[in-house]
Chain A
Amino acid sequence: MKKFDITKHSLVPKHAKLSDKEKKQLLEKYNITLNELPKILANDPAIKDLGLKNGDVVKIERISKTAGEYEYYRGVVNA
């Protein structure tokens, strides 16, 4: 039995935490509040090791057939 790191799986895009400054810039850019972002659960397997809490924002680098590569954002909520 080996331990597989699921962030290496081909279906899982890269998840990273957004700093407070970047978070503010993002919300200003789209003129939205934190609640209007799509959500991700704090205990989601892909961000388990990032140690995130309620109110953080995750940047997801998605690979897409139509746009090549783009960024998507999700707000962290407690499960």
Chain B
Amino acid sequence: MHNEIFKEYESKLPMGIINDLKQRVPSNFSQAKLKKVLELACEEYELMKVDAGEAVGLLSAESIGEPGTQMTLNTFHFAGVAEMNVTTGLPRIIEILDCTKSLATPMMEIHLESPYNKGKEIKEFAESIKENRLKHIASEFTVNVAKAAVDVTLSQEKLTALKLTVPSVVKAIESMRGIVVKADGNIVTIKPKGKEEAINEVFKLKDKVKEIYISGVKGITQVLPIKKEEEFIIVTAGSNMKEVLQIEGVDAEKTITNDIIEIAQVLGVEAARQSVINEVKKVIDAQGLNVDLRHIMLVADTMTVTGNIKGLTRYGIVSEKASVLARASFETPLKHIIEASISGETDYLNSVVENVMLNQPVPVGTGLPGLVTKNNKKEEKAKYL
């Protein structure tokens, strides 16, 4: 019976409030009483709504900016056991809101499927995800002057740990151009192709071959299996969402990265918006501060209106502003004014900043509505008759 009444109010109240009430209202409540409660809830809800014309963006800016002054200015702090850096505090907030392309510390949280999430063979699994270059699996690089070649001694220990064989490593090395590879036991000889056997070429080659990609997921430089709320997950330094999601044994539904641009590319704008909110909230919570979630949601919505994720920079959402003066008031004013005068842009003075600059009432709050009068045509006619 109650459910029907609740259904009536679904258009007037958000689902969150209705679900809250559903849980709290005792089942022996009479229908009349329930209706009264819901009416009251509606009344309160309407009162709490933001008024039309409220300068919500300004409020958000102040509400996020003020706690920002109290955040750590330190870029790094050490999290947990291993030497893994995490960007926190103000530098991280700036990184998120500016939508920086290359993060200082990209990270992933890889959730796992059973049995790995119980901690079984998790170390081996983590190692298999980590990117390995030749320098990681070799114990020695030497330049053989007589043969004009580079001798690489592979570490048997690491080969077995990564389930690699010498032929498979040789194959990976051969992907590099202009070289000849020969294997003898654990020693791989790499020779530059061509007749000239200049010895400085060989020295250059020695540095080059160190970076040859052998196995694992590209971009993941460190792995760290940790226990988080009864479940084992892998935290990584470096991020490669696209490839990690396809790995067998990874719980792709929960796996996340802190690189928002990468999320936008792999999962779409909506996921990117949610991840902006989550990441900003994470920083604010870690600093022991408190900002209403709605402010962050507004910022995240603004960053994603165009369908692409755009940072709060002069190349991002500021460049989308219609008004020339508003754009000029942010950064690089001369550039904007010169470009606008060359292309003959018109400023319609529809928004706030430009009107402040011209000392005019701004279209916010009480400055927003204009006067509306109804022309009573009959009376008007009667006057002239």
Contact = CB atoms under 8 A, between A and B. Distances in A.
B307 A44 contact: yes
B293 A6 contact: no
Interface residues of B, number: 33
Interface in A1-41: 1-4, 6, 8-13, 15, 38-41
A38 B305 contact: yes
A48 to B, nearest CB: 9
A10 B253 contact: yes
Given A9-B253, A11-B274, A69-B15, A40 B294 contact: no
Nearest to B281: A65
B263 A11 contact: yes
Interface in B79-120: none
Contact of B267 (A45, A65, A70): A45
A52 interface: no
A6 B254 CA distance: 11
Given A11-B256, A11-B263, A44-B269, A39 B18 contact: no
Given A2-B246, A68-B16, A9 B294 contact: no
Contacts of A41: 269, 307-308
Interface residues of A, number: 31
Given A39-B306, A41-B307, A47-B268, A11 B246 contact: no
B270 interface: yes
Residue in A11, A41, A64, A66 with the greatest tally of chain B CB atoms within 10 Å: A11
Give the secondary structure class of B's interface: helix
Contacts of A4: 245-246, 252
A1 B248 contact: yes
B275 interface: yes
Given A38-B304, A44-B307, A67 B14 contact: yes
A77 B16 CA distance: 31
B254 A3 contact: no
Most buried by A among B16, B256, B293: B16
A60 B274 CA distance: 12
Interface string B306-329: 111000000000000000000000
Most buried by B among A2, A41, A44, A47: A44
Interface string B239-275: 0000001111000111010000001011111110011
A74 to B, nearest CB: 7
Nearest to A77: B307
A62 B245 CA distance: 23
A2 B269 CA distance: 24
A57 interface: no
Interface in B1-28: 14-19
A1 B247 CA distance: 6
Which interface residue of A2, A4, A8, A69 has the most chain B CB atoms within 10 A?
A4
- Which A-B residue pairs are the 6 nearest by beta carbons? A68-B16, A46-B268, A68-B15, A39-B307, A11-B271, A67-B14
